Amino acid sequence: MNLSFFDQFMSPHLLGIPLILISLLFPALLLPSPRNRWITNRISALQSWFIYTITKQLMTPLNKKGHKWALILSSLMIFLLSINLLGLLPYTFTPTTQLSMNLALAFPLWLATLLTGLRNQPSASLGHLLPEGTPTPLIPALIMIETTSLLIRPLALGVRLTANLTAGHLLIQLISTATAVLFSIMPAISILTACVLLLLTILEVAVAMIQAYVFVLLLSLYLQENI
């Protein structure tokens, strides 16, 4: 029984071909096809407003040099948000529960922000490793601590997203299994458990949206330190 709970996190295969690629490309099918006009209906207007709000929220703390990242960060936000929400549907697979995928997204973008800072302002970027006014005996220890905290940033990004989504999916499966088992034994308890399941599902929708936003927001903050 314990092993079956984790089967939902295994990447599905068909004829030896991993279907995770289809899962990653599926959110693109939900976007409207290009037309001659910018806005053709209310859904397009809502999508345009949503993208504008996300981009404005992410780009406000950054200067003009950081606005070059607007397309990358906004696209990443919509991509993660779509995958997280689609993964809450029954009989679906959530690619963002895979730590390897989240690290593959976090590490290159974090490295790009770091290299941007080292190229444009190397003194300021390296200055983050040693706070001003540090006593001389503490300098080697602080440099090691700050370097370690800098290097584990992509790992923290990937683990945070993976752990939150995995925990939510496991809780939903555990409570739904309990609801199905108790329905024939104790119907009243089963109804109460179903109400808890409904509230937990609403909470997981909020978590899926928040985690996608936090992932991109932290990347924008890392970028802000290096520009």
Kindly report, residue by residue over 210-221, the tens digit of the pLDDT. 999 999 999 998
> What is the per-residue pLDDT for 98?
86
- 14 strand-pairing partners: 17
> What is the per-residue pLDDT for 67?
86
pLDDT per residue as tens digits for the range 79-89? 899 889 888 88
Instruction: Give Cα 31 to chain centroid, integer Å.
Output: 19
DSSP string, 142-159: HHHHHHHHHHTHHHHHHH
- The token pair at 202 is 């609403």
How much is the CA Rg of the chain, to the nearest whole Å? 22
Lowest-confidence range among 111-115, 150-154, 181-185? Answer: 181-185
> What is the per-residue pLDDT for 225?
84
Better-scored residue on pLDDT, 151 or 130: 151
- The token pair at 58 is 């992410």
Pick the closest to residue 178 from 162, 200, 163 (CA basis): 200
Check whether 2 has a pLDDT greater than 50.
no
Pick the closest to residue 171 from 207, 220, 218, 124 (CA basis): 207
SS3 label, residue 18: strand
Average pLDDT taken over every residue of the chain: 83
- What gap in Å lies between CA 197 and CA 101, rounded to an integer? 28
- What gap in Å lies between CA 208 and CA 165, rounded to an integer? 7
